[in-house]
Chains A and B, each alone.
Chain A
Amino acid sequence: MSRYIRLYIHFLQFSFSKALEFRLDFFFKIIMDIVYYSVNILFFKVIYLHTPMLGGWTESQMMIFISTYILIDAISMTVFSSNMWWLPYHINRGDLDYHLIRPVSPLFFLSLKDFSANSFVNLLMAIFIFSYSLIHYSLPFHSLDVVLLCALVLNGALLYYCCQMLMILPVFWTQSARGFMDLFYSMGIAMERPDKIFTGWRRFVFTFIIPFSLIASFPAKLFIEKFNWPTFLHLISVSLLFWILMIFIWKKGIKAYSSASS
């Protein structure tokens, strides 16, 4: 374990020095995420001009949800996004060979080696938005609720990573993962909407099959509404299931991998 922590610290050092070489790019990425956050907040502000409630939540409650998904997105962008971007290319070009022979888990290496230092500033900004929405939340809450929400935010980031990996891994068998990846990014919109807007079969799809509603909406729901075990167990069990599924397909993919001709 300590070996992996030391390795990750090296990844961080390398990523920061690399990011600071391209200063203008660094600056552009910060601005881009500010625009993304603003557009998301503005979208809900406009919706609330026409309705007092959405999915059973008031504007103040919705801000908790918005800041939760912004924070999860920022964690994913900082920790996983660059690695996820390059993974299909590594598999396609046969670069995976170098990672398979190293004395370290290839999944760990390929998922975490590129820490996006540019997005780190945005992660700080997302933490600020998250804290701001908690401070200005209109209803009373317990500090344990905040601890649980923070833990579920991390779970959300991991679930997001699993879903993304499940969209990338078919590249072991297909020539290109681009279609699946584009599809994944467009599915992101489901994470950015409260789960209660989905009813009937759509709810089943977004809470079980493509569990994007579990990523941010369920954590926010457990904070805003009273804690309830069925929601919590649903969230944890689907997250575990997706983690197991991702590991299983990863192992199958590694077996199917045939280097550069893959």
Chain B
Amino acid sequence: MKSWWKDVMAMEFRKILAYRSDFWITFLGQMFIQLLVTISLWHSVFKENNVTSMQGLNLEMLALYYLVANVGMRILWGENIGFISREIYEGTFTRYLLYPISFFQYKTVSYLSYSLFYSLQLFIFYWLYQLFFGTSDLSFTHLYYLILGIGIFLTSSLLFLTLAFMVELISLWADNVWTLMIMLRFFVTFFGGGFIPLNFLPHWAQEILAWTPFPYLINLPVRTILGLSHHTEIIKGIFFILAWTLILATFVKVIWSRGQKRYTGVGI
């Protein structure tokens, strides 16, 4: 069979770059504003307490943490909200039931195109940051942790995709589920360490979170890129990512088999 996934990926890349000005305004603007605000906040906290580091992170590390976390979240988010639910609502979902390609395979390839694109962005931005603002010399250790961290981000993006499948497929029962996707993003951002590094949370909260999928989505890959995670922590994290993906994929299968029967394909 011809490698259809290459065509799907090429098509998705073209979509991402269709509105280039929008893309760069969003990307650079968001990055700049978010970093500016978070660094100001932590600078104020450090100043108020007259310290140079907290929970093992100084201001430079925190800046890097948020830079990586912000681009990393784009790897996770992949396609826009509504990548399935909109099609169900509009009735265009029917084509996936007719094409000789698995719906899940198609959507996974399409989603991974975005994740790969943003991974490349993360690679370039991290490298540029280290080149211009980094205090330590660039080395193979940096490169090793960067590639390892991006690899974890891509693995955890499959976990997020499974969560997204679960939520998006609810649209087979409800008209609008974008609110649920926003909620999912809120949860992942907060409990995953996108708003605040997780070691700032109370110890008991960290222990509970360790059993959920959230810390492995953002906190683990970011800490890996920063060289703060031990190998045992990384291996344990990857195990949790795969285990959660499998567990959630089972739920997706159930939702899919039940939801398919409800689909009418009439659109709006």
Contacts and interface: CB of A to CB of B under 8 A. Distances in A.
Interface in A43-69: 43, 46-47, 49-55
A182 B200 contact: no
A155 B153 CA distance: 42
Contact of B200 (A36, A49, A55, A174): A49
Interface in A208-231: none
B25 interface: yes
Contacts of A22: 175-176
A186 B196 contact: no
A175 interface: yes
Query: Which of A179, A187, A190 has the most B CB atoms < 10 Å from its CB?
Result: A179
Interface string B197-224: 0001110000000000000000000000
Contacts of B120: none
B22 interface: yes
Interface stretch (A27-35, A105-113, A144-152): A27-35
Contact of A49 (B19, B43, B202): B202
B44 interface: yes
B127 interface: no
Interface size range on A against B? 35 or more
Nearest to A178: B22
Interface stretch (A93-101, A157-165, A193-201, A243-251): A193-201
Given A43-B196, A178-B22, A179-B23, A190 B37 contact: yes
Contacts, number: 110
Contacts of A186: 26, 29-30, 33-34
A35 B25 contact: no
Given A25-B174, A42-B190, A178-B22, A54 B45 contact: yes
The B interface, classified by DSSP as helix, strand, loop or mixed, is: helix
Interface stretch (B91-99, B180-188, B252-260): B180-188
Interface in B64-112: none
7 contacts: A32-B180, A178-B22, A183-B25, A189-B34, A190-B33, A197-B43, A199-B40
Instruction: Rank and list the top 8 A-B pairs by shortest CB-CB distance, nearest first.
Output: A179-B22, A179-B25, A197-B44, A28-B179, A186-B30, A183-B29, A32-B179, A25-B176
Interface of A: 22, 24-25, 28-29, 31-32, 35-36, 39, 42-43, 46-47, 49-55, 174-176, 178-180, 182-183, 186-187, 189-190, 193, 196-199, 202, 205
Given A29-B179, A183-B25, 12 more contacts: A25-B179, A28-B179, A51-B45, A54-B45, A178-B26, A180-B25, A182-B30, A190-B37, A193-B40, A193-B41, A196-B44, A197-B43
